[in-house]
Amino acid sequence: MYELNLEINHFLDTYWQKKPTVIKQGFSDFIDPILPDEIAGLAMEEEVESRLVYRDDKQQWQAECGPFETFEKLDADGATLLIQAVDNWHEEAQQLVRPFRFIPNWRIDDLMISYSTPKGGVGPHIDNYDVFIIQGLGKRHWRVGDKKALTEFAAHGALKHCESFDAIIDVELEPGDILYIPVGYPHEGYAIEPSMNYSVGFRAPDQNDLLSSFADHLIDTNENAERYTDRVMQVREKPGQIENQELEELHRVMLASCATPEQIIPLMGKMLSEAKHDLDLAPPEVPHSGEEIIEELNEGAQFMRLGGLRAMYFEQTPSLIFINGKQFDFEGCSELGQLLCDQDEVASELLALINDDQNALTLFTSLVNKGYWYAN
Ligand code: SIN
Ligand code: CO
């Protein structure tokens, strides 16, 4: 269980999405939840997204994508192995995300872990997400620059860098220290000793993400799409011209399907609950019955949400529950749906909600049989 030493309200008011900061000993007596060997093990798996970054003999940046069979590069200085979405694969590592749930779940993206040999780092770059970088094993030297327009370029096909920058933070992180970097601030970190870094990243879709997802959603669901029609048509002197009222009508037709926030709920719920990385989904071979689930709970089991599984609901439609990119109707048992979204693990409250409610029990049983929740 990781406890964050942080005045959360002060942090949110002063730093969140405003400026970078170091949280010295954010975790006291920090113990790494995962070993470097386990990181290497994950990098061998097909489903796990991994990358190895190093400089070659000529000091040129190199980046290779996994899965990897061997790790010779990690025998030398100057190498970093990075694994994306470790919270999807490793239960103990997943615990590191929890202390940051003072930011709502839908904003949290994933836990990325890096292992670096001395001098290892990915070079100066700018991320388009907010990140808390936790120092585990070893020490790492971090520099963070101010947010301003810097030239970005590909140091290698799979490695985007930015030009050098002056540091506004220049710090040596020790185990348990946390560096918070908002979107857009350039940074670079180089290991002083073999080093583990845990990055809890946050997502915020941009206009292009939103509109392209919306377009995809319309293509899939909008069978009777409204079509432009002429409001009035009169003889035109300027056949080359599109009149203002025509432009307005095109604009109206274009926006008609997303003119109100309510209209975008199904799409947003689907999009925001979709997993960006593979999940370690293992539905039970023999499906559970509702009675078995009640029995397990009575015997003291608790049910955990699968690591990395995204479950959420909108304040406005609390009985529509979005899980892993799909919409579930919890009409009549919305309390259960909300509990499953709000809590990472559930036990007595779950039992109280499904014990005398057949509909709730059936819904929860189907989620267990999909492998979304599992007994622990
Ligand atoms: C790393 O852990 O090496 C990279 C983290 C980051 O800069 O975002
Ligand atoms: Co970064």
* Residues 185/145, Cβ–Cβ less than 8 Å: yes
CA-wise closest residue to 6 among 137, 142, 200:
200
Model confidence at 185, pLDDT cuts 50, 70, 90, reads very high
| In this structure, CATH architecture of domain 290-375 | 3-Layer(aba) Sandwich (3.40)
Per-residue pLDDT at 236 exceeds 90: yes
pLDDT at 158: 87
Q: Does residue 51 contact residue 79 with C-beta atoms inside 8 Å?
A: no
Which residues have CB less than 5 Å away from ligand 2 (the ion)?
Answer: 127
Reading the block at residue 307, the tokens are 């690591």
Q: Give pLDDT tens digits for 245-284.
A: 999 999 999 999 999 999 999 999 999 999 989 999 999 9
**Angle, in degrees to the nearest 10, between helices 358-369 and 290-298:** 90
Determine whether the shortest distance from the Cβ of 80 to ligand 1 is under 6 A: yes
CB atoms < 10 A from the CB of 302, how many? 18
Closest to 134 (Cα-Cα) out of 199, 50, 193: 199
CA gap 127, 202 in Å, rounded: 11
- Check residue 75 and report its DSSP letter: G
Instruction: Give the CATH number of domain 8-202.
Output: 2.60.120.650
- Tell whether ligand 1 has an atom less than 6 A from the beta carbon of residue 365: no
The boundaries of every CATH 2.60.120.650 domain in the chain are: 8-202
The pTM of this model reads 0.94
- Give yes or no for residue 273 CB within 6 A of ligand 1: no
How many helices (DSSP H) and strands (DSSP E) are in the chain?
10, 19
What mean pLDDT value characterizes the chain?
A: 96
Please indicate whether residue 376 or residue 13 has the higher confidence score (pLDDT).
Answer: 13
- For a ligand 1 pocket test, name from 114, 173, 200 the mutation site with the most ligand atoms within 8 angstroms of its C-beta: 114
pLDDT digits (tens, 9 = 90+) for 287-325: 999 999 999 999 999 999 999 999 999 999 999 999 999
Atom 7, ligand 1: residue with shortest CA distance: 188
pLDDT at res. 272: 95
Residue range(s) occupied by CATH 3.40.366.30 in the chain: 290-375
Given 3-state DSSP classes, what are the helix, strand and coil percentages for the chain, each rounded to the nearest 5?
30, 25, 45
User: Given the DSSP bridges, would you call strands 152-156 and 159-162 parallel, antiparallel or unpaired?
Assistant: antiparallel
**Contact 344/313 with Cβ under 8 angstroms?**
no
Nearest to 361 by CA among 304, 309, 295, 299: 295
> CA end-to-end span of the chain, whole Å?
16
Ligand lying closest to the C-alpha of residue 120: 1
In the prediction, which pLDDT does 190 show? 97
Residues 167-179: tens digit of each pLDDT: 999 999 999 999 9
